[in-house]
Amino acid sequence: MSDVLFQCPSCSRHLVTNAGSIGLVIACTECRQQIFVPKAGIGFACPGCRAELAAPASQAGATFHCPGCGAAVVVPAQSTAAPPQPKPPVKGDLLFRCPTCSRRLAVQASVTGTVATCAACKQQIIIPRHALPFPCPNCQAELAAPPSLARQAFDCPRCQATFTVPPHDAAPPPANAGAPPKVFLVFRCTACGGLLDADATSTGAVVACKSCGQQAIVPASKLSFKCPKCLRELAAPACLGGATLACPRCGGQAVAPQAALRLPSKRTGKV
């Protein structure tokens, strides 16, 4: 994707962003004014490194510095290359770190390459341009991250689940590959009444209560439902029908459905 060269209309600062930001609002790195990235009608190449560049028609004849090699380039009067076509907006959230304070941040992936303000240190930062799309392994939300975050732990901005960002050379698994998603069985400790959770397939197993330390037996799951926050599949024993339970993954409040009542069958024959 080409880099777009233009001037801030407020302070005349020379700015650069990618073609995918055309039409978006960014903050000038010099005067902090909010400005629109103009449409680039002139496409050309840097004479030094041959990087693809572009500029609006109003910048014809102006001298800029190539963002790739730093060489001085003059915007031609007419295009010597096809003007850049902005790519469709990237869906989902982009995960990255502030280069100043290392705060974990997340923004809409469609604003890559623009300038934003860190919520923690208030410094102006450029949102990374190159990112690998991948789904959250918990809620399947569409995410993306730059190569620098590969194999690092991050929290999903949608369900708050912690996961490891996959490397860019990792091939995405087939949609039907892997084990079925884990279903959490939520139940109460018979000693202290505290909430416990376990794999729904571990019925009959003995686990230790995190609150009182007593041993508890994982009951059979009779009720199936979903967490309304992260959409994780949950289960519960029949005795918890109608109870409000905390999702073991994201902490969201989920109400277990009431157990269905079975009517007694009619007796036949003489009494």
Q: What sign for the dihedral angle of Cα 124, 129, 131, 135?
A: positive
Q: Is the pLDDT at 167 greater than 90, yes or no?
A: no
Q: Is the pLDDT at 92 greater than 80, yes or no?
A: no
* 202 & 154 share domain: no
Counting the structural domains of the chain, the total is 3
**Structural domain includes residue 264:** no
The SS3 of residue 25 is: strand
Using the 3D structure, point to which of 41, 74, 107 is the last residue of a domain.
74
Say what the pTM is: 0.37
Q: Is the pLDDT at 98 greater than 90, yes or no?
A: no
pLDDT of residue 96: 87
Average pLDDT over residues 81-93: 60
**Structural domain includes residue 19:** yes
* 247 & 199 share domain: yes
pLDDT of residue 174: 47
Residue with tokens 């794999």, as numbered in its chain: 199
* 65 & 98 share domain: no
Q: Is the pLDDT at 76 greater than 90, yes or no?
A: yes
**Structural domain includes residue 62:** yes
* 188 & 153 share domain: no
pLDDT of residue 268: 53
**Structural domain includes residue 97:** yes
Residue 51: pLDDT band (50, 70, 90) is: confident
CB 196, CB 248: distance < 8 Å: no
**Structural domain includes residue 148:** yes
**Structural domain includes residue 88:** no
For residue 255, the tally of other CB atoms under 10 A from its CB is: 13
Residue 1: pLDDT band (50, 70, 90) is: low
Q: Which of 6-20, 199-213, 235-249 has the lowest mean pLDDT?
A: 199-213
Percent of the chain with pLDDT strictly greater than 90: 8
Q: Which of 26-40, 80-94, 146-160, 216-230 has the lowest mean pLDDT?
A: 80-94
pLDDT of residue 176: 45
**Structural domain includes residue 207:** yes
**Structural domain includes residue 64:** yes
* 155 & 204 share domain: no
Taking CB atoms within 8 Å and a gap of at least 24, the contacts of 43-48 are 43/2, 43/79, 43/80, 43/81, 43/82, 43/83, 43/84, 44/73, 44/75, 44/76, 44/79, 44/80, 44/81, 45/80, 45/81, 46/71, 46/73, 47/71, 47/73, 48/73
* 153 & 190 share domain: no
Instruction: Quote the tokens at residue 120.
Output: 């923690």
* 101 & 68 share domain: no
| Measured distance CA(74)–CA(46) in Å, rounded | 9
Average pLDDT over residues 92-116: 81
- Domain extent, residue 23, equals 3-74
Using the 3D structure, point to which of 74, 105, 121 is the last residue of a domain.
74
pLDDT of residue 177: 44
